[in-house]
A and B are shown apart, each in its own frame.
Chain A
């Protein structure tokens, strides 16, 4: 196994033997070895002088890190509800059949493994998949056939048709941000001219609120960080964009990386930070080369590094850290843990990151879109920014529109836009339900389409998924519950166990075995999740179920078999293994031959 030790040593050296870079080291080592074998974990632990168990614990946390061998070709189907609506599960099954492999298992020759993964942020051009981390969009049966052939004949990924990997930006409506051309460096120059204090004043006047979900006033966060004791302050750009149905940050990172990074420099100017991180979700790793090139260009132009634009004492630079398949790492304190090379477990708050963030230093964490918006404020002033939108939600919002509509993509509107207006613009003629803000957001029924997108009405981190009358709200909620169960970090009791319990009830209902008591249990678990969870993941996990139960209750009641108690344990299903072994599926091999036809294929 000397090659494992060698690979580990070279990766560790590349990262300066820095234990805070543990996640980055594991990602690179896996890139070199295909997976993380036990000897690799031991070598990393030894090389970084960390307990081995800690390294194993970090590696085990992230979905994209593998402690067991995976296929030479590793295919992950994006499993958001919008992918499913475009037939992703059928396509997955077709590929599994063609390549003779079971989902989640490694083929015997080690060639291929096929599985599903949480939303990959390609909902406007799904169904999507990742092949060895690279996105393939618009998968259809023809593409599946071609992929099967490419895999079977072991064509290296670099020789696959380029068109497979094409990602469209699909910008459908432009407003203040997307409609304006931008001269690189102009926003930084403007803010330097204002001076640090007046720049903060402009930010205050803009009343900009965070676009990452919570809607916290950006200026307040920046001031708190600026005023916090301690040097070595940090600015983090949250590019984890894990909320199902959201892809607007992807487009910003593709189309205006210069403005995103410039926004980080503006935050540094305001807070006095000298170190910046972009936390880029693993699904967007394909954007990294272009982002690194942009950083290099900015350094060369004096927009990053020492003495930015000649301003003495204005030193700031940015490094990109990759995530590895963990939605919870979008939560700012979990993100910081991950940046420090740990498991992405949300911290106890208070203290908040603005005073105790990365390595205990005052840290600002802002969303990609929030930071990009600050360039508008630097160029046009806070008052002009605040003149659009609504009283409590100034400026514009980028919506990621997907689902049952003619024109999925990015729509920029002033805050306050009505939902029916968006539906009309995106060509959603038969909209029945809209999921605003992603899985953790709000489910909007037809009678609410006159409501508007704003923090004071329907807040949104950006997702806008449209469902027509052929869709079943239960299936939507069920998919989201699966998502939260998969993504729970497992730190706190209510979320770790509660999401699994909720999934159990939803699965039971989906099988047609629901009872009225189950709905009461679901409501009780929802309440426990909301009230007692440690972070926003657990406390918002029940949202889709709470909303669809309230607004589309018949979708649940239709699935109740009796109105009283129905055991979750399905005795007949438990005999499936015995049937498989004996090769039987005749009626006599089943317990109840009543109202249900049991075939193994169905379960």
Chain B
């Protein structure tokens, strides 16, 4: 089955099984997202991809498109809610962009620019989160984790190593690595793993290359994420 649905008032075709986000994307319409990645099944946790269908909020990365759906996405209401979700993510962790080596390549930061987030609005949680420098090639700075679980999924489903998992729950949820010591250095993690190269923010960092590309010349410094994402459709989230 294939058909059409209306996306912000414009008809968009879809193939059977395609989600709203995938179909919109294929037709050249960008929907902001963080936990979705073209190479993985939908995760549905960040909720940035929320759209309204027939007045109801749904995750566009997870819901299959259906004939005749009326989807609202790029509206002040949806963008306002997305901005608020970003603000939540910013106050939950410790995101000091000017001193972060991911700055300019970070999707969270890029989304904040995209959605014109000018302040954090809410009070910062300032959680105490550790840094793990035990691995020879990789540094983990958990202060910036947004729990998209891309590293978890990549390590489990592609690298076949299950180096990462989540533990605890609620606001205390956090990542652990696959070692009794709790240290990345004691796992079989390697810098070539997909999991080492998929983090959308600045948690999983390669050592000794931090500022090879100067800030100001990085991916999202020059071009907004909505453009990068659509330009490199096959490969970039």
Contacts and interface: CB of A to CB of B under 8 A. Distances in A.
Contact of A498 (B88, B167, B173): B88
Nearest to B62: A348
Given A498-B88, A531-B50, A53 B176 contact: yes
Contact of A494 (B47, B62, B125, B161): B47
A326 B88 CA distance: 24
A118 to B, nearest CB: 12
B117 interface: no
A263 B143 CA distance: 50
B180 A38 contact: yes
Q: Which of B123, B162, B170 has the most CB of A within 10 A?
A: B170
Interface stretch (B24-32, B38-46, B223-231): B38-46
B169 A60 contact: yes
A485 B171 contact: yes
B7 interface: no
Interface in A191-229: none
Given A53-B162, A57-B165, A496 B171 contact: yes
Secondary structure class of chain A's binding surface, majority of residues: helix
A231 interface: no
B44 A490 contact: no
Interface in A474-501: 485-494, 496-501
B178 A493 contact: no
Contact of B167 (A56, A491, A524, A534): A56
B171 A490 contact: yes
Given A492-B45, A497-B171, A56 B85 contact: no
Interface in A330-352: 343, 348, 350
A326 B44 CA distance: 21
Given A492-B44, A493-B45, A521 B122 contact: yes
Interface residues of A, number: 43
B168 interface: yes
A528 interface: yes
A343 B169 contact: yes
Nearest to A491: B45
Contact of A42 (B42, B122, B166, B180): B180
A251 B133 CA distance: 53
Contacts of B84: 524, 528
A490 B123 contact: no
28 contacts: A38-B180, A39-B180, A52-B178, A53-B178, A57-B166, A57-B167, A60-B167, A60-B176, A485-B171, A488-B171, A489-B170, A491-B45, A492-B47, A493-B46, A493-B85, A494-B85, A494-B88, A496-B92, A496-B170, A496-B171, A500-B125, A501-B88, A501-B122, A521-B122, A531-B57, A532-B47, A532-B85, A534-B45
Given A56-B165, A60-B168, A499-B171, 10 more contacts: A53-B178, A56-B167, A491-B45, A493-B45, A493-B47, A493-B89, A532-B57, A533-B47, A534-B47, A534-B59
Interface of B: 42, 44-48, 50, 57, 59, 62-64, 81, 84-85, 88-89, 91-92, 121-123, 125, 146-147, 156, 161-173, 176-180
Which 3 pairs show the lowest CB-CB distances between chains A and B? A60-B167, A51-B162, A53-B165
